Chains A and B, each alone.
Chain A
Amino acid sequence: MNVKDYLVNLPHTWCAGCGNGIILGAFIRAFKKSGIDKDKLVVVSGIGCSGRVTQYLNFDAVHTTHGRALAFATGIKLANPELKVVVMMGDGDALAIGGNHFIHSARRNIDLTVIIFNNSVYGMTGGQQSPTTQLNAKTATTPYGNLENPFNVVDLAIAAGATYVARCTTFHVKKLEKSIVEALLHKGFSVIEVITGCPTQQKVKPAELIKLQKNIKPIGVFKKEEKEEFVDKYLKLVKSVKTEKL
């Protein structure tokens, strides 16, 4: 199969050495393996470099506002439970401006698949500190080093109630692909944190970034739980409520 069959509107705007294309490629291959109907897949993104994915994917795609992709996705999924809804967000998008929506969506265990493109920096706006920037790291807004502690995305997702949680990197492409297949087929709120890099803003050569990712530990699946999903529960409620005239 050809990944390009699922892409439109190329060329893309990502910088040379950006990991976003690796994640997108892995997603397309995983989608193909999952056996999901391409007409029933909706990809929702927010704002930032990761937000651009919806411009390139030849599926139903919704490019939303900064941080709110999960809320739009919640509306889409509830409106048509037949749809498979995948949400792609960056670390700032998902965990800073959208942090509240991330924990509440996880708490509901609504059937959404979330892929977080975590490059620990705001790429599009000029390399500012994000909620996953490492302590002491220098960024455009932490010129003397970052004083804040980063989120552990896996721990956060598990604590909030996500029922499938994995971490991968753009070095471990095969594992990433496998994990995305699992997440797509999981019923409930599934989260994959993909650690990637931003050669432009972190000023590290792409090959060096990939080498750094090779050593990131731990990666893998940290949570996989069968638990009743939100939309299913709502549909059951609708069935149980006697239809009466208002």
Chain B
Amino acid sequence: MTRMELVQGNEAVVKAAINAGCRFYAGYPITPSSEIMHLMAKEMPRVGGVFIQMEDEITSIAAAIGASMAGKIAMTATSGPGFSLMQENIGYAAMAEIPVVIVDVMRVGPSTGIPTAPSQGDVMQARYGSHGDYPIIVLSPSDVLDSYVLTAKAFYLAEKYRTPVILLTDEIIGHMRESVNLPNIERVEKNMPILGEGRKLHYTGLANENGFAIYEPEKYERLIKRLFNKIECAKDVISYKIENPDAKTMIFAYGSPYRTAKAVLKIAKNVGIFKAETVFPFPERALKKASKDVEKIIVPEMNVGKIVNEVKRVVGDSCQVVSVTKLAQLVDPQAILKVIE
């Protein structure tokens, strides 16, 4: 069934999306995500799906949300500047409970930054970028196979929990080619009433009950708590991998710095890895459990140190937490080895 093939990270996203049942892509060109759009333009008509190039990223996500309401499994992809433009409608999808997958192939910012160097600078924007209180799922692959598997998972979770799901990759993963054996993935089914079935649906970004606006603070609070519980109580949202669980030093990594962590493991002894595939909701319980007997946690990131604060919040004073950061390029294994000693 499966065979080895040379696949690019961005390409893996498209393959997984189509195999998972995605049949609507709306986007706006931006490096380093453009390969996703190019492939979608070619492949979507072939599978009877829809591809449209919109006038900007605001409308790209809006069209994807509209298509999702009308029955298609839908996505868009972008990079930092476009991701910023999408934020308002990400909040809309969270509030109106519309499934949509957003891929952010991260590049350095702020603003135009260095086009196109890699970064993990958008990780907190992925969590908190839209206004107001809302839950969201953020997945972060660290190689081509991950890009494939986690894209499929993103669609599964988006449809199951009727929520926007963000796949955070970066320039390294997006443009890297690896020899992979892509597994079969199950097709995702639409899990919601759709427009055009005579149900007289009403979707709105207003705080609502059954589609109609509510203004009472108590009802609003109940709504927001339900939205959070939906994501945070789910058993299949958080995925992570632990290597060398008995080691006293642990590297907490997500995205491409996981590759650095793997390199470190080849050199250093008595080092473990906590690889977070789901960045948000933050894998609190798993990390607490995994770090029980750990003395030092090293958090390599391609930003000024963001998720390290989440790690500190979770482990408290139980162990030492060290941030290793590198901007606009991959973290060097030597930088991690230095703080291990």
Contacts of A39 on B, CB cut-off 8 Å? Answer: 196-198
In this complex, what residue of A is CB-closest to B193? A60
> Smallest CB–CB gap between B301 and chain A, Å?
32
Interface residues of A in 46-93 (CB under 8 A from B): 54-55, 58-65, 68, 70-80, 82-83
> How distant is the Cα of A38 from the Cα of B204 in the complex, in angstroms?
20
- The stretch from A139-147, A186-194, A237-245 touching chain B is A237-245
Which residues on the B side are within 8 Å of A237 (C-beta)? Answer: 45
- In the complex, whether A32 has a CB less than 8 A from a CB of chain B is no
B212 touches A55 (CB 8 A): yes
B46 contacts A54, CB within 8 Å?
A: no
Q: Separation in Å of the B29 CB from the closest CB of chain A?
A: 15
Please determine whether B195 and A65 come into contact, CB atoms closer than 8 angstroms: no
Residues from chain B with a CB closer than 8 A to the CB of A33 are none
Query: Which chain A residue lies CB-closest to B70?
Result: A79
Given contacts A39-B197, A74-B52, A246-B43, contact A64 B67 (CB under 8 A): no
Give the residue of B64, B68, B72, B204 whose beta carbon is less than 8 angstroms from that of A63: B204
Whether B56 is near chain A, meaning CB under 8 Å from some CB there, is yes
B186 contacts chain A at the CB level, 8 A cutoff: no
> Is B200 interfacial (CB 8 A cutoff)?
yes
A234: Cβ under 8 A from any B Cβ:
yes
Determine the interface band of chain B, counting residues with CB < 8 A from chain A.
Answer: 35 or more
> Please, how many residues of chain A have a CB less than 8 angstroms from a CB on the other chain?
42
Q: A79-B24, A104-B55 are in contact. Are A238 and B212 (CB under 8 A)?
A: no
* CB interface residues, B 81-113, toward A, < 8 Å: 88-89, 92
Contact B66 A72 (CB under 8 A): yes
- Expressed in whole angstroms, the minimum distance between the Cβ of A150 and any Cβ of chain B is 23
Does A149 reach chain B (CB closer than 8 Å)?
no
CB distance from B195 to the nearest CB of A (A): 5
Q: Which residues of A are found within 8 Å of B200, using beta-carbon distances?
A: 8, 58-61
Residues of A within 8 A of B88 (CB): 65
Residues of B with C-beta under 8 A to A72 = 62-63, 65-66, 69
Which residues of chain A are within 8 angstroms of B197 by Cβ–Cβ distance?
Answer: 39
Instruction: Report if B74 contacts A (CB, 8 A).
Output: yes
B58–A60 CB distance below 8 A: no
Residue A42 at the B interface, CB < 8 A? yes
The answer to whether B50 and A63 touch across the interface, beta carbons within 8 angstroms, is no
CB-defined contacts of A224 to chain B, threshold 8 Å: none
Q: Mark A213-234, 1 if CB is under 8 A from B, else 0.
A: 0000000000000000000001
Having A75-B26, A75-B62, A79-B72, one finds 13 other A-B pairs with CB under 8 Å, namely A39-B198, A42-B195, A60-B200, A60-B202, A68-B58, A68-B59, A75-B70, A75-B74, A104-B54, A238-B45, A243-B48, A246-B18, A246-B19
Seen from chain A, the residues whose Cβ lies within 8 Å of a Cβ on chain B are 8-9, 38-40, 42, 44, 54-55, 58-65, 68, 70-80, 82-83, 100-101, 104, 234, 237-238, 241-244, 246
